[in-house]
Amino acid sequence: MRRSLVWAALGTVAVVALAASALGSGAGLNARALRVAAGSQTFTVNVDGVNKKVNESFDAYFPSVVSVHAGDTVVFHYVGVGEPHTVALGSLANAAVSAFDKLSPAQANNPPKSALALDAKLPQFTNGPASGVVPAAGNPCFLASGTPSSKAPCPAGAQPAFDGKQSYYDSGWFKANEKFTVHLSSSTPAGSYRFMCLVHREFMQGTIKVVPSGTMVASPAAQYASGQKQLATDEAGLVAAAKLLAQGKPPIPGVSLPGSHPILVGSGAPGSNDPGQIDQFGPTLVHIPVGGSVTWWLAGLHTITFNSTKADNDIQSVAKNGDVQINGKAAAPVGGPGEPPKPPTGGTQAHIKFKIVASQTWNGTGFHNSGIFGNSQPPNIEGYKLTFTHAGTYKFICTVHDNMKGTVVVGNS
């Protein structure tokens, strides 16, 4: 199960605290913002968040709780820079998120079988690094009852209104700036409907709270503003880590990157519940001699990709019919092996273990790609080492995240 909080394994990961930080309906809002049941309002929930100052992504929904009436509409708007997400509603997601909510921080790090069994009823985003996206997770899928297939596509059909009774109601993998519009049936019973991301699982979740008609909810603008306030708090939690990352330093006191010319790939707030991560290389520029090496230490879902073209600089490919799939060229290793299937072990919560898991030599020509590293997170950080045999200036990107770039200058160029 993918943890959303890449550095949080160092501290306590309190899923419960995520829920506790959520906006209560109408909490602290101006009375003028309150309205009686309208039944036809549209509320916006941002999926992920954008920090204009630092390239970041947030495994969270803003706001994470939206209070509405039956008959209203909730628009989930993906605003991120490439971190993959979905919104899965329905009774299966509701049961899984509710079960994880009850776990202690220690249990959340090692969930009991009962919680894992509920999680397993929802498809994984992929069934392994070599496989593509699971159709029922990566593309919109709406089931009135039963569990979605882990392999076969969902039955085709128009998106129904959400009535609170469907078993599975998934947006699919969001495309850039995509909106997923959920009309709530006028017959939706009052209650809390949990939703989650099929990539980041129960650690990225939220609630549509349908209140009885006659009960007031805060206006769409006021609820949206509360979500953005939470985002600002989460952004503030990453400021210290972003400063350190720019200098090539991890966010943990006393820990430095091993090897010559190391580059840290992504960072986050250690020991906190901040759902944000920084999607930048640190440093963004290194100079090495001909025959020298660079080691990238990856934290989070990233790639190191050289000489990419526009067609291959994104792990998501969209077919003409709108179906999404993983772009194999952007996601898989090219020019040598990438991440091994099993994550390294040995690090403890307090002591980060760095281990180079892929080591290659490159002459600087042609497309070259580490492929996605998906298992690298504290306390076990995986390294990708590349030895450069020819002088030159080599620009690289991450194919998961937009705007994530760096440069290696080899020799005196």
Residues that bind Cu ion (CB under 5 A): 279, 302, 398, 400-401, 404
CA distance 367 to 335: 8
- The residues with which 195 forms a beta bridge, in sequence order, are 206
Nearer of residues 19 and 299 to Cu ion, judged by Cβ: 299
Rg of the Cα trace of the chain?
Answer: 22
Beta carbons within 10 angstroms of residue 10's beta carbon: 24
Shortest spacing between CB 259 and Cu ion, in angstroms: 20
CB of 384: closest distance to Cu ion in angstroms?
A: 13
Shortest spacing between CB 401 and Cu ion, in angstroms:
3
Minimum gap (Å) between residue 398 Cβ and Cu ion: 3
Distance between CA atoms of residues 57 and 49, nearest Å:
6
- 13 closest CA partner among 24, 1, 25, 23: 1
Alpha carbon of 148 to those of 122, 145, 333: distances in Å?
A: 7, 9, 30
> In the complex, which residue's CB is closest to Cu ion?
398
Whole-number Cα distances in Å, 251 to 160, 242, 247, 290, 347: 45, 8, 11, 31, 16
CB 369 to Cu ion: min, Å: 13
Tell me whether residue 302 or residue 368 sits nearer to Cu ion (CB atom): 302
- Reduced to 3 states (helix: H, G, I; strand: E, B; else coil), residue 411 is coil
Q: How far apart are the first and last CA of the chain?
A: 44
Nearer to Cu ion, 3 or 401 (CB): 401
Helices (H), 79-205: 91-101, 105-109, 113-120, 135-138
CB of 267 to Cu ion, least distance (A): 11
Instruction: Output 46 or 280, the one with its CB closest to Cu ion.
Output: 280
In the bound state with Cu ion, the residue whose beta carbon lies nearer, of 162 and 281, is 281
Nearer Cβ to Cu ion, position 164 or 383? 383
